[in-house]
A and B are shown apart, each in its own frame.
Chain A
């Protein structure tokens, strides 16, 4: 996955990703994409292009557990969020709604940098730097590969984990 970095700071909460006022009017991602980040960056929605990638600092997606904060991002055809860390609800919701969450050091990525995500590596094509990302737990990869929990469930009929998947992630 390759795209242009759209850079945000630390502790971007779900209300900043999509404000409650807009959620009240509609939950349709194709409507909500016009209001992405409007509280903190009113020009973002008009400038976003399909394939852009969100790059953020720590604790991205803190706040509400509402999935619309993920689906609205997907509505703008953003495929991944690369952040130093995520709130746990956003991380899970991203996986469950086809938005790839990538955890790595984002401090040297600048607005507009061209970024390529390949496996566990994030390449900053603009600066020619490679950043190692955390591996996703196996069950998360399987859910993403299936296209979300609904198709996953239709395939397996259950969370397919009789066996433990001991894939620790770095903190």
Chain B
């Protein structure tokens, strides 16, 4: 019997011939990432009493949750982490203005690669499975142990395999696919499990779109999630790293807990929307009725990449944001910000009435800019719509694709992009 991708990587990282689900192993960690909560890790690390971190070249710290600092408290946290980084000689540190959202900055800099084991003090660390990395979120206290020793214990997860074939319909994207899957499997549908996404429809996706799947797999509880290590991925990674890249895949006779088959064209007729107040409360857009929106948010580790800004710019080109709606755009990284500026997307979006926030988590976490008042409704390309997530507990958050967010900003209500943009127009449109 062969092994799944998760089993293969954990077996190698724990020095074993093979591992099986539910076994507990201690594995070597290749990369340890934290954002502002590096300050909590630092405090626990100091309590352990080890003088130096295990390997300063394998620790990454990226400020993204509250940048630039919104309070003296955050500023003090940032300062303490900067001092720790300097004292320990931590190689990969991305300060305000140097990076962006951690889950975007790591791949942009070639820091996540096939076959690695990575842990991050952030639940959406599953994103890096799009690079063939066994990547999962852990708490700050546990991370202190990783900083000290460079290893961590893991329970080997069983694996769900999701195979997707068929052609996506117009305005249906990776975001719609993963919302559809979460709606089908539920908020704990992949709890403690690994997920392998594969199939022709996945292999045709850009790396940016694959990251949407592995990112949101966390919202059905996944421990790790993978998309294929193929030519598309290697082409993305090669210019970004001098390290050797290996092609790693699950064995053809690997044992899966369950295999789910989806036809993108047959099963997904239209954009999907996650309605308040849970990510698995998913409905086809046309069934929602009229939902007026006061704020539209385009950004986050889920959907703040160049292709997301591009589709929004195409929809908003020559149009304006509806008078009752505010549109917030947050490029996921400084690099994406510059590219979007260079390509004119930001010009188009600002001309339409958008506000551009600095690359970071922004309003998604409800702590920094763009907070909702009671009675307000937001359509957002982000990843969580829990009660009170983006502000008042009397506000409503709907999650959808970047295209739906842009179309909704134009009409001031949740809208299918097909309602305002003809397909023929899309082909001809120049940004």
Contact = CB atoms under 8 A, between A and B. Distances in A.
A127 interface: no
Contacts, number: 131
A39 B144 contact: no
A58 interface: yes
B367 A23 contact: yes
Interface of A: 11, 13, 15-16, 19-21, 23-24, 27, 39-40, 58-59, 62-67, 70, 85, 87-89, 92-93, 96-97, 137-139, 148-150, 152-154, 157-159, 161, 164-169, 171
A99 to B, nearest CB: 12
A85 B188 contact: yes
Please name the 8 residue pairs, one residue from A and one from B, whose CB atoms are nearest each other, closest first.
Answer: A168-B22, A59-B188, A65-B137, A93-B139, A65-B123, A161-B26, A67-B139, A20-B366
Q: How would you classify the secondary structure of chain A's contact residues: helix, strand, loop or mixed? A: loop
Interface string B97-139: 0000000000000000000000001110100000000000111
B139 A21 contact: no
A166 B191 contact: no
Contact of B141 (A16, A40, A62, A97): A97
Given A27-B40, A169-B22, A171-B192, 10 more contacts: A15-B386, A20-B367, A20-B389, A59-B191, A62-B191, A85-B188, A85-B191, A89-B123, A89-B139, A159-B151
Contacts of B151: 158-159
A35 to B, nearest CB: 11
B316 to A, nearest CB: 29
Interface stretch (B41-49, B202-210, B265-273): B41-49
B302 to A, nearest CB: 14
Contacts of B153: 139, 159, 161
B318 to A, nearest CB: 37
A63 B22 contact: no
A48 B26 CA distance: 38
B151 to A, nearest CB: 6
Given A62-B221, A149-B142, A150-B44, A159 B149 contact: yes
A149 B41 CA distance: 12
B24 A58 contact: no
Given A16-B386, A150-B47, A159-B152, A58 B188 contact: yes
16 contacts: A21-B388, A23-B367, A24-B71, A66-B37, A67-B139, A67-B141, A88-B192, A150-B44, A153-B48, A158-B151, A159-B145, A159-B149, A161-B25, A166-B24, A169-B22, A169-B155
